[in-house]
Amino acid sequence: MLRISEHPILTFKHGQQVAFRYDGQELVGYEGETIAAALHAAGVKVLRKSTVLHRPRGFFCAIGTCSSCLMKVNGEPNVRVCVEKLKAGMVIETQQGKGDLREDV
Amino acid sequence: MRMFDVCIIGGGPAGLKAAIAAGSQGLSVVLMDDADHLGGQLVKQTHMFFGSEQQRAGARGVNIAKELVEQVTSLVNVEVVLCTTALGLYDDLVLTYETEGSYRKLSAKKFIVATGASERMLTFPGNDLPGVYGAGAVQTLMNVYGVKPGNRVLMVGAGNIGLIVSYQLLQAGVEVIAIVEGGPSIGGYLVHASKVRRAGVPILTSHTIKEAVGVNCVEGAIVCELDSQWQPKSGTEQRIDADVICLAVGLSPLTDILWQAECEMVFVPELGGNVAYRDSTMCTSKPHIYVAGDVAGVEEASSAMVEGELAGLCAAKSLGVSGAHLTLQITSARSQLEELRSGPVGDKIRAGLLQAHR
Ligand SMILES: Cc1cc2nc3c(=O)[nH]c(=O)nc-3n(C[C@H](O)[C@H](O)[C@H](O)COP(=O)(O)OP(=O)(O)OC[C@H]3O[C@@H](n4cnc5c(N)ncnc54)[C@H](O)[C@@H]3O)c2cc1C
């Protein structure tokens, strides 16, 4: 379990527990935390494959700067999941390649 | 298009102080940050700060952030916009930005760029494996969201950040196997080093990471000893089992917008990389662009706050605000900076600033 249960200085105020889908799997996390934090707590560290050599990638900076953590969220590709907040019912998928822009945007 | 007197990009300690300074002069101010909260790096600093009392030594960074945010929100002439990323800054005083998926612009007479810094990478085979995380990322995950980065951490870098984050990992109940430091001595303050050593974490100086091992994620690391020329000594390799390799090897100023705006830049290793030339008012080669905080040179929150204040006051002065009080505040900010950078700890920063001042 990667959630911190006790801390000498901090108390964590979590949002509501919500369910979401990750590559077809049903997982739970807390509303208001980042998608990356929820996935990490659920033991998911590989967030995508690099586009050329298909090497596994996780997050690196966690502040939306390095682009290591791009995933497909509710059909939209290239979402930085280290800063995008989790919402109930989100559909999160491992992105294939560079991802295509939706036609309606 | 909306017009402001001052637009501040970045709501960390530097940007917050700049907003308070300019806002207190009665100017119309907009403060934007790409995150969904103000405070920048401060929100994950759970340890007590160093510095003089004036810069809140002894307070925890996260509490300093709360205080500054309260001050900013109490100023009615300061507008805060979150989840908003500054994209382009132009000579006709226009800033383009992205918010809620749309592309917009605003205009301001003066801009203060306080975008902070980003974490440095180290080159070694396997450095792209999931489990190789920046120290700031580990702090965010652990101190903001309450999620451990893993169970066994190898820390790379024994500067203040490496030492502090190691201690915070222990507080969160995570094992820190060792701290490796390439240099022959510990870079951070001894108080921090003693804390982690007392907890039983070895600090291996003149050691570095050679390789990250693992198939899908980090499973371990090969570390080795370095000679006085920073070359690996053969035969000294050892494998350490770990599921996280945390890189605390420094920060680089986040200067994209300054390059784009064509501010004159200079490479100053002592300040963490490329920075904008600035004068004694924190104004860059572009008369409408000021800098403050880590983007102007990687330093500390204490100096970032004073620099932010200085930039805010000087921007106000350049817009015609005057008076004895303003002059006094400017002088005081300058002497606080001088004090913070005095003595042997400030040697490096002072040498760096000499190269960036014009
Ligand atoms: C582990 C650690 C321990 C530390 N300990 C101490 C200590 O004990 N004492 C001390 O004094 N200092 C300490 N520091 C340093 C201190 O945190 C930084 O020096 C300080 O936060 C720098 O402030 P800043 O305002 O310049 O940048 P930041 O705090 O980085 O804030 C910059 C803000 O700008 C935003 N931003 C960036 N680009 C854009 C854009 N294009 N559009 C909109 N917003 C943008 C960012 O999201 C961020 O919120 C520590 C740092 C770390 C990482």
pLDDT at position B210, please?
97
* Structure token digits, residue A37: 């934090």
> For residue B275, what pLDDT band results from cuts at 50, 70 and 90?
very high
- Residue A57 · residue A49 · CB < 8 Å: yes
* Stretch (H or E) spanning B132: strand B132-134
Q: What is the pLDDT of residues B106-148, one digit of tens each?
A: 999 999 999 999 999 999 999 999 999 999 999 999 988 999 9
Q: What is the pLDDT of residues B229-264, one digit of tens each?
A: 999 999 999 999 999 999 999 999 999 999 999 999
Angle among Cα B32, B97, A86 to the nearest 5 degrees reads 70
Q: What is the pLDDT of residues B57-77, one digit of tens each?
A: 667 888 889 999 999 999 999
Q: What is the pLDDT of residues B215-230, one digit of tens each?
A: 999 999 999 999 999 9
Cα-based torsion angle of the residue sequence B208, B212, B217, B218 in order, rounded to the nearest 10 degrees: -40
Mutation target among B38, B145, B156, B256 for the A interface, most CBs of A within 10 A: B145
Which numbered atom of ligand 1 lies nearest the CA of B39?
A: 49
CA nearest neighbour of B8 among B76, B108, B117: B108
- The DSSP secondary-structure symbol of B48 reads B
- Residue B45 · residue B21 · CB < 8 Å: no
| Residues with a CB atom less than 6 Å from ligand 1 | B 9-15, 32-35, 40-42, 45, 49-51, 85-86, 114-117, 135-136, 139, 160-161, 164-165, 254, 257, 293-295, 299-302, 304
CATH of B2-118+251-356, one of 3.50.50.60, 1.10.1740.10, 3.40.50.2300, 3.30.1360.200: 3.50.50.60
Annotated domain spans of chain B: 2-118+251-356, 121-247
Residues 6+ apart with CB under 8 A from A52: none
- The ipTM estimated for the assembled molecules is 0.93
- pTM for the model stands at 0.90
Q: Answer yes or no: do B119 and A9 touch at CB < 8 A.
A: no
Chain position carrying tokens 């791009």? A70
Which residue of A10, A46, A66 is in closest CB contact with B143?
A: A10
The stretch B282-291 carries a mean pLDDT of 98
Chain B nearest C-alpha distance from A35 (Å)? 11
Identify the residue with better confidence: B222 or B51.
B222
For residue B147, the chain A residues in CB contact (below 8 A) are 2-4, 33, 37, 40-41
* Stretch (H or E) spanning B290: strand B289-291
C-alpha span between B65 and B21 (Å, rounded) = 16
pLDDT at position B247, please?
98
pLDDT at position B185, please?
94
Which numbered atom of ligand 1 lies nearest the CA of B307?
A: 26
Q: How many Å from the N-terminal Cα to the C-terminal Cα in chain B?
A: 34
| CATH 3.20.20.80 assigned to A17-93 | no
* Stretch (H or E) spanning B306: helix B301-318
User: Would you call B121 helix, strand, or coil by DSSP?
Assistant: coil
Residue B350's CB is within 10 A of a number of other CB atoms, namely 13
Chain position carrying tokens 């020329």? B229
pLDDT at position B62, please?
83
For residue B44, the chain A residues in CB contact (below 8 A) are none
C-alpha span between B163 and B115 (Å, rounded) = 24
Q: Answer yes or no: do A3 and B34 touch at CB < 8 A.
A: no
Q: Answer yes or no: do B145 and A58 touch at CB < 8 A.
A: no
Q: Answer yes or no: do A62 and B133 touch at CB < 8 A.
A: yes
C-alpha span between B140 and B69 (Å, rounded) = 19
Phi, psi of B79 (to 5 degrees): -100, 130
Q: How many CB pairs under 8 A join A and B?
A: 99
Distance B301 CA to ligand 1 centre (A): 7
Percent of chain B with pLDDT over 90: 89
pLDDT at position B54, please?
61
- The DSSP secondary-structure symbol of A15 reads -
Residues 6+ apart with CB under 8 A from B18: B6, B8, B112, B114, B290, B292, B308, B309, B311, B312, B315
C-alpha span between B98 and A77 (Å, rounded) = 17
Domain B121-247, CATH: 3.50.50.60
pLDDT at position B189, please?
86
For residue B153, the chain A residues in CB contact (below 8 A) are none
C-alpha span between B336 and A46 (Å, rounded) = 46
Residue-averaged pLDDT of chain B: 95
Find the residue in A nearest to B40 (Cα). Answer: A63
Residues of chain A scoring pLDDT < 50: none
Annotated domain spans of chain A: 17-93
Cβ of B217 under 8 Å from any chain A Cβ? Answer: yes
- The DSSP secondary-structure symbol of B292 reads -
Q: What is the pLDDT of residues B314-356, one digit of tens each?
A: 999 999 999 999 999 999 999 999 999 998 889 999 999 999 9
